[in-house]
Every structure is written in structure tokens, then in C-alpha cells.
Amino acid sequence: MITAIGYIRVSTDHQDLERQKMLIKKFCEERGYILIRLIEDFGISGADADRAGYLELQALTEDSCDIIVVSELARLSREDDVMKTLTTIYGLMAKFDLIMLDDLATTYKKGSKFEFMQFIGLAFKAYGASEERKKIAERMKTGKYSLIARFPLACLDSTEPLGFKKVPNPEYDEKCKGIPQCLYVVDEEEATIVRNIFTWAAEGLSTHKIADKLHNLGIKSQWGKQIGHSYVVCVLKQPLYKGIRVYKEVEYPTGVEIVSPELWEQVQLVQRENRTRADKYTTHYNPVKGILKCACGCNMQIVHSGKSMHYACVARAHKKDVRKVEPDTRFFGINVADLNAILWEEVKYRILQNDYRAKSNDKIKALNIEIIQFEESIKDREKEIIQKIAQQNKIIDNLALAESPVVMKALERKVTDIDAEIQNIKDSITATENEIAKNRKKIVDETKSQNVKELQEITLEGKGKIFSEMLEKVEWVSEKKRRGFLVVTYKNDIQVVWLYKNVKGTKVAINLPTSFTYNPETFKVTVTHKRSNPNVKFDFGEIYTVDYTPDEILDSFYFIGDEEYDASDKVWG
């Protein structure tokens, strides 16, 4: 069996690292190779010959593996000296077979020598990799990239984002290139409008209603026009308001925030939820859109059938070829009014129960603890950034004094590498801030679910909002036509099961006891029984479980604790 070791490297992009891993693993699986391990260099330039993974790769012995797999030559080296790159490859070939996934037609055999065409081809690749590194570095140092990097609030065109105004740059000198003529500064009057827009969006107000509200207040855009829905959408998506300038997909911190990053991220989450639950294809409001699922895993939608309406699986409604469960009858729907009534009774009861509130409070407490931990980790990483900037400034000072080209080149490389390290830390901070925003959104949802008033008079739209705030998922399992289980899962992990049957004019809806649990593998409800043996003293009974369909439950009697439970008494409708 052939054994392999993979080598991967990236300078900044974590996603590219994952891509290289996937390519090497897939290649080894297809060839039947045993991938022993992956040697990684993360956040390090290919021009750095002292990177840890690269040195480890060269230190491997012939007993380590049979073949070395690299995604492409540029991952192995981007050194300016082409001969050094070729020498590295030749050194690996002395001990292992070597293959690069961008040239699968060529395998560099162990102990072999370069053929003439191989040598020429590798030399061109090595030269190209080196030149590409130079171009990347040059692009980041010149033109608008450099301008934005040094002046994140520089004006590059005539546009003025809401909340900012354009002012002359006091440092501008027409004789000196690389200094913007104008800069953006915060316009406090417009900034208040921006803050209001984000606050309303965080509270769940739709972009259309926000636009209407601004119109009713007599507020217009900076061009004197009425603010519409699309304008509000653009404002809410603009990262400039949280202190980030994005130019050509590169982010630059501005140091100026109109709204907090936490509020900005929270609004993005709310907007995604609103898009998921938006009713675009029906004139009837669906309070469980995005929540109600069929047993097959697909969403359910409102479908008209004569004078009635029912929730139907989208796979059945559109006759799509999707993953089915056995039997196919589980694609049957449920009456819209009946499901809404059952679900509201369940949620209304749960709101008033102390067990829900207790679990909800526990969840809020856990989320707050996690937020504190996240914030502490961000502080630690911010300190690390400060340390690296100080380290970088010392190197820049030394660079100004250096006279040797070799020393200058080494110092420039160190500055670039520290830039990459700082960016990696900033990316990790952004990811953590996103998690904090998610937690805060969950806390808001949990708090809202505990303070619902006037439950008896609430509208269908109001019920839909509560469903969205409290429920993680509602699953309809149709064992037969007009009968099945409604499995309700709350966001605080409580799960309850309702039995529903509507046959020959009789409707039955039962909130099953907690000893009845839904089994997703059998699509039935599992009930725990106790079998006693009267001939054995002190026999407390043998515990066993049985799966039941809705009809089997309705036709049976069960003993729940010390009380007899007769399902036939639980009639609703």
C-alpha cells in the first residue's frame, strides 16, 4: 500500500487552505493512497524559506512515506531564485515520488533526474510563481489600494453615503501623489437617521415599513428624493456604518462607527430571517413559513383545494423528485386552520408555564456567559494586534536605516508577513463578533417570548411573529391522510408531540404526555411501558418501549405514572 504526505500553504486565505486539503484528500482516495498526514504552513509567504512546515517537509526521511503530494508549485515555493526552487524539488525527489496536482500527467519519480522538458517547464512555473507574488505585493502597495489603506475614508468619486459628508483634506497637496483631495466625515444629523434605520430593523420592522416611516417623518435622501425600500436595503448592507470600508473585496477599518458592530451584525441576522419568512407567492399570510417541515425534510406551503386550504409538502405540491420516506403517504398535508389553532394553543400554554420560562432564563444566562467569554477573547486578540503593530513599526524604522539590498528585502518580507498575521487576527475577531451578534439576537428572542401580552386577542400576524421567536421547527408527520403527529421543537430545546386526526367530521387533537416521544427513524411515537411479574416479590417491573401510529394510540389505554390515560377522552374541534 502506497503511503502519502501532503503539503499545503497559504499566506492569508483560510478557505484556500481548506480547498487544498480537499484536493489532496480526494486525490489520495481516488488513487488508493494512504494519506498519513498533512504538513501545513498557514499565513506565511511562499518566499520565506524558513517556514516551519517547509523545513519539516525537507527533513522527512525515506521511511516517512512513499510519495509527497502538493496542490501546485506555488504552494511549495515562490522564491525569487528559481534555481533554489528547483534544488528543493530535486532534494525531495532523492527520497520520494513527488506529484503536483496542477500537473497530474507528470510524476517525479524517486531517484530520477530531470528530463530537459521537465526542467524547462518547472523553471517557467517557478519564475511565474515568483512574479505573481511580486504583482500581488505591488498591487497592495500602489494606486487606490494604497490610498484606501492609508486613508480609509478617502473620497474616490462623487458619491456621499447617507450619514457622511465630503470635506477637503487639509493634508492634500496637488504636487504630492497618494493623498486624497477629499475625505468623508460623519454628518451627525444624517447619522441619527442611519442609527434609527438600524434600530428599527433590529426590532423586526421590514424595509418597506422603515421606508414608509421615513416618508411619514418627511425624511428624504441626500439627493432630495423620497427614500424607498431598495435604498433602506442598501443602507442596512453598508459595512461603512460599523467602521469598515470595503474596496475591491478588501476590508479596511476606518476607526469611525455610526452604529456598533454588534447592532450591524444583529440587523443582518434579522434581515436573513425576514427573507426566509417573506410571503412572496401567496395572498394568504403563512404564520409558520420557514418553520413548518414535512417528515421528508422539505418545507410546507399553503395550497388551495376547493373551498379549503391546507399545508402541503413542496415536494408533493410541485411533484419534485426528492428524498422520500417510506411510505410515501407521509407527504399528506394538514388543514391550515387546524394546524394554526393547535400550534397557538401549544405556544400560548407554553408561554404561561414556569418550566418554559425557567429553561428560557437558563438559556439567556448561558448565552450571556458565552458573550463575556467571546468579548474577553476579542480583547486578548486586540492586544496581540497592538503588539504586532509595534513590532512592525520597529522593523520599518530599521528598514529606513538599512543600506544593504539583502537586508532591506528581508525586512520588507517581515513587514508583509506581519500584515498577513494582523489580517488573520482581524478576521478571527470579525467571526467572533458575528457569534456575539447571534447570541444577542437569541437573547432578544428569548426575552420577547416571556413578555407576550393580550394573548387572546392577538392577530394571525402577531402569532406568526411569536412562532418565529419561540419555535425552532414544527414537523408534520402524516401517517395517513388527515392524521399524523405534529412535533413542535422550541428554540430552548423543549420538544412536545401532538396527535391529530380529522376523519368523518370528528377532529381529535391531543397534546401527548412527556413519556410519549417522537422517533424520527420510524416516524412513530415511542411510549415507555412497565411490565410487572406478580410471582416475583419486590418486582418493580421491566421497562420496555413500543412505537405507535396515531390510530394505535387512539384505540388504546395507557398508564402514565399512577393515572390512567384514555386518549379517546381528548377530543378537540
| Distance from C-alpha of 510 to C-alpha of 568, rounded to nearest angstrom | 9
DSSP state of 227: P
CATH superfamily of 3-141: Resolvase, N-terminal catalytic domain (3.40.50.1390)
DSSP state of 364: H
| Distance from C-alpha of 304 to C-alpha of 53, rounded to nearest angstrom | 63
Q: Which three cell numbers stand for residue 116?
A: 530537459
Residue 475 confidence (pLDDT): 93
Task: Kindly give the interhelix angle for 116-141 and 82-93, rounded to the nearest 10 degrees.
Answer: 130
- Write the DSSP assignment of 82-142 as a string of letters: HHHHHHHHHHHHTTSEEEETT-TT-EE-TT----HHHHHHHHHHHHHHHHHHHHHHHHHHS
Contacts of the segment 73-76: beta carbons below 8 A, 24+ positions apart = 73/100, 73/102, 73/122, 73/125, 73/126, 73/129, 74/46, 74/125, 74/129, 74/132, 75/7, 75/8, 75/9, 75/20, 75/46, 76/7, 76/9, 76/46, 76/100
Residue 258 confidence (pLDDT): 93
Contacts of the segment 440-444: beta carbons below 8 A, 24+ positions apart = 440/262, 440/266, 440/367, 440/371, 441/266, 441/269, 441/270, 442/363, 442/367, 442/491, 443/364, 443/367, 443/368, 444/202, 444/266
Residue 392 confidence (pLDDT): 82
Contacts of the segment 21-25: beta carbons below 8 A, 24+ positions apart = 23/71, 23/101, 24/69, 24/71, 24/101
- Write the DSSP assignment of 142-184 as a string of letters: SHHHHHHHH-TTB--SS---TTEEEEE-TT--TTSTT--SEEE
On the CB side of 391, how many CA atoms lie within 13 Å of its CA? 15
573: burial class by Cβ within 10 Å (0-12, 13-18, 19+)? exposed
Query: Using CA atoms in the order 135, 137, 141, 144, what is the torsion angle rounded to 10 degrees?
Result: 60
Q: For residues 508 and 533, is the Cβ–Cβ distance under 8 A? A: no
Give bridge partners of residue 526 from the DSSP assignment: 517, 547
End-to-end CA distance of the chain: 68
Q: What sign does the dihedral 82-86-87-92 (CA atoms) show? A: positive
DSSP state of 242: G
Q: Right CATH number for 148-277 from 3.40.50.300, 2.40.30.10, 1.20.120.850, 3.90.1750.20?
A: 3.90.1750.20
| Distance from C-alpha of 46 to C-alpha of 75, rounded to nearest angstrom | 7
DSSP state of 220: B
pLDDT > 90 in the chain, percent: 8
Q: For residues 270 and 202, is the Cβ–Cβ distance under 8 A? A: yes
For residue range 82-105, list pLDDT tens digits in order: 667 777 787 888 899 988 887 776
Topology agreement, domain 3-141 and domain 148-277: no
Residue 366 confidence (pLDDT): 82
Residue 495: phi and psi, rounded to 5, are -130, 130
| Distance from C-alpha of 95 to C-alpha of 311, rounded to nearest angstrom | 66
Chain centre distance of CA 315: 26
Give the pTM: 0.40
Q: How many Cβ atoms are within 10 Å of 211's Cβ, its own excluded?
A: 20
| Distance from C-alpha of 548 to C-alpha of 510, rounded to nearest angstrom | 14
How many residues can be counted in the chain? 573
For residue range 43-52, list pLDDT tens digits in order: 666 556 677 8
Q: What is the pLDDT along the chain (573 residues), one digit of tens a residue?
A: 789 999 887 765 444 667 778 888 888 888 889 998 888 877 666 556 677 888 888 888 888 899 999 887 766 765 555 667 777 787 888 899 988 887 776 778 888 876 656 656 666 665 655 565 555 555 544 456 667 777 888 887 777 889 999 888 888 776 666 678 888 999 998 999 999 999 888 877 788 888 888 877 778 787 777 788 889 999 999 999 999 888 776 778 888 999 998 889 888 877 776 665 555 444 578 888 888 998 888 888 888 876 778 888 887 655 544 444 444 445 688 889 899 989 988 888 877 765 566 777 787 888 888 888 888 888 888 888 888 888 888 887 777 777 777 777 787 888 888 888 888 888 888 888 888 887 887 787 667 655 554 456 667 877 887 888 788 899 999 878 888 899 999 887 889 999 888 887 778 888 888 878 888 888 888 877 655 554 544 444 455 677 777 877 777 644 333 333 344 444 343
| Domain segments of the chain as ranges | 3-141, 148-277
Name the residue among 173, 136, 151 with its Cα closest to residue 247.
151
Q: For residues 514 and 527, is the Cβ–Cβ distance under 8 A? A: no
| Distance from C-alpha of 233 to C-alpha of 404, rounded to nearest angstrom | 54
Q: For residues 163 and 191, is the Cβ–Cβ distance under 8 A? A: yes
Average pLDDT for the chain: 76
Indicate the SS3 state at residue 194. helix
Name the residue among 496, 487, 479, 494 with its Cα closest to residue 548.
479
For residue 559, the one-letter residue type is F
Give bridge partners of residue 251 from the DSSP assignment: 246
Peptide bond preceding 327: is omega within 30 degrees of 0, i.e. cis? yes
Q: How many Cβ atoms are within 10 Å of 172's Cβ, its own excluded?
A: 12
Residue 517 confidence (pLDDT): 87
Give bridge partners of residue 501 from the DSSP assignment: 483, 508
Q: For residues 222 and 160, is the Cβ–Cβ distance under 8 A? A: yes
On the CB side of 312, how many CA atoms lie within 13 Å of its CA? 15
Residue 474 confidence (pLDDT): 93
